[in-house]
Structure 1
Amino acid sequence: MDAFLSGRPCLDLTTTLRVRHREQPVETLRTPADLGAWIAASGLCEAPVEVDAGGLRRARALREAVYRIGHPAGAPAPDDVAALNAAASRPPLVPRLVDGTVYRSGGLDAVLSTLARDAIDLFGGPHAARVRECAHPDCSRLFLDVSHAGRRRWCGMAACGNKAKSAAYRRRQEQP
C-alpha cells in the first residue's frame, strides 16, 4: 500500500493528511473507523483497535505534532515536543514472539505511544537530518532518506519520482 512508503511508522502517520501545502489538504482520517483501518493496514498490531471520536482527535493531534517536529524547514515547538513526550509516556504496544514472528497487541493509547516513541527515536537519533519532504508538487509526504548519498528527492520512484521525471521530459520535448 502506498500509504506506508515513509520508512518509519511515525512518518507514515503524517501522510494521513495529504497535499498539506494546498488550500484544501486531503484528510484520510475522517472517522474513527478510518483510523482503525489505517492502524490495521499499518501492521502495528495484530488485532483491530477500537477508536472513538476522542481517540481520533488524539491521533490527529499526535500526527500534526510529529509532522511539525519532523518537517525539515523548522525547529520543533515546545508544545509539539510536550505533546510527543506525553503520548510516549503511556505504555506502548506489547510485543510477543510466536514462531519467529513478532506480534504486537494493545489499545489505541498503546498504538499512539508506540508511534510517539518511534518519532522520539527518529528525531533524537542520527537519522533526524535525513527526514525529507517529497519534492513532487502534489505530495507533501515526509520520508526517511536512507539512500547512500542522502540526496533522495521523492517519497518513492513508483509514484512521485516517475511522475516528476515524466513531466520534466514532456517539458523538455515541448521546447523548440
Structure 2
Amino acid sequence: MNAEASDTGEDVPAGELRFNFRSGRLCLAFVATVGERWRGRYERLREPSDLARWYCEAGLLREPPDVTGSGLEAARVLREAVHRLARAVIAGQAPSPADEAAVNAAAAAPPLVPVLSGGTGRLTLPAARGQQAALSTVARDAVDLFSGPAAARVRECASPECALLFVDTSRPGRRRWCSSAACGGKDRAAAYRRRRAAAPEG
C-alpha cells in the first residue's frame, strides 16, 4: 500500500475515484491518480485492475493489460517520483537524483509497441512484460517533459480545491487553472458571488 495515500476507498466520494485527464501530459495525468493531495489524499489506483483501467482511459491501450500487485506498487513509486520532480520544477529547485533514478529505471524497459491498424496508428502490448511496457511509456513521457522546454510550463492549478499539475500551453504562458471551463469557471463564479455580497444594497 502507498503510504502517502489511502487506498481503502472508505468514505471517499465516488466522484473522487474517477480519473482526471486535464493535465495535458500523460505523466502528469498519472500523478493525478491521487486525488486531493493537500487534504484527503484519495488513492485512485487501489487495485491492479484500477491501473489497467487507467491505461485504457488514458488512451494508451484498447484492452487492459494484466497488472500484478508488484506492478501496481512499481507504478505508485513512479507516480510519486514524477510528482516530486514536477514540484521541484515548479519551485525552481534541483531535481532529486533518487526521483530521476526511479523514472529512468521505469523508462529503461521497452515501451508499448506502435502498430498500424486500418490506416491509423495505435499502441499495443509487446509479447512479454506488458505491464512494464505500459509503465515505461508513462516514464518516457516524464523524461521528455522534464528534459525539454515544456518543463518551464509545468503549473499547479490556482484553485484551492484542485491543485492539479498541468502544462500551460497558452501563448502568453500565464494560465492559472487546469481548465478555464472547470476550475476557472468556478473561480469566476465565486468572485462574482463575493462582489455581489460586498456590494451595498440599493
TM over 0.5: yes
**TM-score of the two chains, using structure 1 as the length reference:** 0.94
Q: How does 1:43-122 map to 2 (within 5 A)?
A: 43-71=59-87, 72-73=90-91, 74-106=93-125, 107-122=130-145
Q: Which amino acid aligns with 1:26?
A: Y
Q: How many residues align?
A: 175
Question: What's 1:20 paired with?
Answer: 37
**TM-score of the two chains, using structure 2 as the length reference:** 0.82
Identity of aligned residues (%): 54
1:84-104 CA distances to partner (integer Å, 9 max, x unpaired)?
Answer: 000000000000022331111
Question: What's 2:197 paired with?
Answer: 174
Question: What's 2:4 paired with?
Answer: none
Structure 1: any 5+ residue segments left out of the alignment? none
Q: Return the alpha-carbon distance in structure 2 between the equivalents of residues 100 and 144 of structure 1.
A: 30
Q: Does the aligned pair in 2 maintain the 1:18–1:140 contact within 8 Å? A: no
* Residues 168, 75 of structure 1: alpha-carbon distance in 2 compared, 3 angstrom cutoff: farther
Q: Return the alpha-carbon distance in structure 2 between the equivalents of residues 168 and 30 of structure 1.
A: 36
Q: Stretches of 4+ moved more than 3 A in 1?
A: none
Q: Return the alpha-carbon distance in structure 1 between the equivalents of residues 100 and 190 of structure 2.
A: 38
Q: Which amino acid aligns with 2:111?
A: P
Question: What's 1:123 paired with?
Answer: 146
Q: Return the alpha-carbon distance in structure 2 between the equivalents of residues 19 and 76 of structure 1.
A: 23
Structure 2: any 5+ residue segments left out of the alignment? 1-17
Tell me the C-alpha RMSD between the 2 structures: 1.4
Q: Does the aligned pair in 2 maintain the 1:143–1:155 contact within 8 Å? A: yes
Higher relative contact order (CA 8 A, sep 6+): 1
Q: Which has the larger radius of gyration?
A: 2
- Is the counterpart of residue 35 in structure 1 residue 51 in structure 2? yes
